[in-house]
Chains A and B, each alone.
Chain A
Amino acid sequence: EVQLVQSGAEVKKPGESLKISCRGSGYTFTDYWIGWVRQVPGRGLEWMGIIYTVDSDKRYSPSFQGRVTVSADRSLNSAFLQWRSVQASDTAMYYCVRGSGSGADDFDYWGQGTLVTVSS
C-alpha cells in the first residue's frame, strides 16, 4: 500500500529553525518526485517546491525561493522541508505529495499534513 507519512505537529517561536519530513512507502521512492503544498488555515492551497528524489534536483515556486529548502534522503525514503528562521506567517498546514510527471501518477497520494504553528 502506497503511503506518505509526515512528521508530527510543530510549535515554534519566531526565528527558530524547523525541519519537517515525509516518508514514502509501498513504492519505489526514486521513481517519484515529492512536492510540498502549503495551506494557511481557512485558505487555499499553494505549491512551494518539488524535489526529484532520483538526483535531488529541485524546483521552487518564486514565492518560496530562498525562504525554504527541500531535500531528500534516498536511504530513508524521505523528503524534507526546512526553514532557517520561521515567522508567524509560516503558520500553516503543510502537505507532501508525490508525482512522476506522467499525469496519471501525479498527485495521486498525499501525506496527512503537518501543522506548523509559529507564535511567540
Chain B
Amino acid sequence: DVVLTQSPLSLPVTLGQPASISCRSSQSLLYSDGNTYLNWFQQRPGQSPRRLIYLVSNRDSGVPDRFSGSGSGADFTLKISRVEAEDVGIYYCMQDTHWPWTFGQGTKVEIK
C-alpha cells in the first residue's frame, strides 16, 4: 500500500498566522492519465470529513481562499495563509492514484 506521511502531527498556531502541513508519499502519485490524485480533507470535531482540495491544488466550492494546495510527484503541502478559529480540526491528505486508496495519519491543528 502507498504510505502517506504527514508532518507535523500536531500544529499549534496563533490566530492570524500561517500554517503548513506536509504530506509525503512512498511512491509517485502521478497517474498514467497525467493527473495526480492527491486530496486534502478537514475533519472538525464530531463531523464527517470535508474535502478542501482535489487534484493537488484545486480548491472545493465554498472553501476559503486562505487554503491552498501544492506539490507534485510524491511531495505535497497544504497551506493556510491566516488561521482562523473555525480551522481547528484534523487535516488528512489522501491519495486515490493507487488502490487501495490511503490517508495520511492526520495533522491536528489547534489554536495556541
Contacts and interface: CB of A to CB of B under 8 A. Distances in A.
B100 A110 contact: no
Interface stretch (B16-24, B34-42, B65-73, B78-86): B34-42
22 contacts: A37-B49, A44-B106, A45-B41, A45-B43, A45-B92, A45-B103, A45-B106, A46-B103, A61-B101, A99-B96, A103-B35, A103-B54, A103-B55, A103-B58, A104-B58, A107-B39, A107-B41, A107-B51, A107-B96, A108-B60, A111-B48, A112-B48
A47 interface: yes
A97 B78 CA distance: 22
Interface residues of B, number: 25
Interface in A38-64: 44-47, 59, 61-63
Contacts, number: 53
Contacts of A106: 39, 54, 96
A113 interface: yes
Interface of B: 1, 35, 37, 39, 41, 43, 48-51, 54-55, 58, 60, 92, 94, 96, 99-106
Given A104-B58, A107-B41, A45 B100 contact: no
Interface of A: 37, 44-47, 59, 61-63, 95, 99, 103-104, 106-108, 110-113
A95 B49 contact: yes
A9 B89 CA distance: 23
Nearest to A93: B48
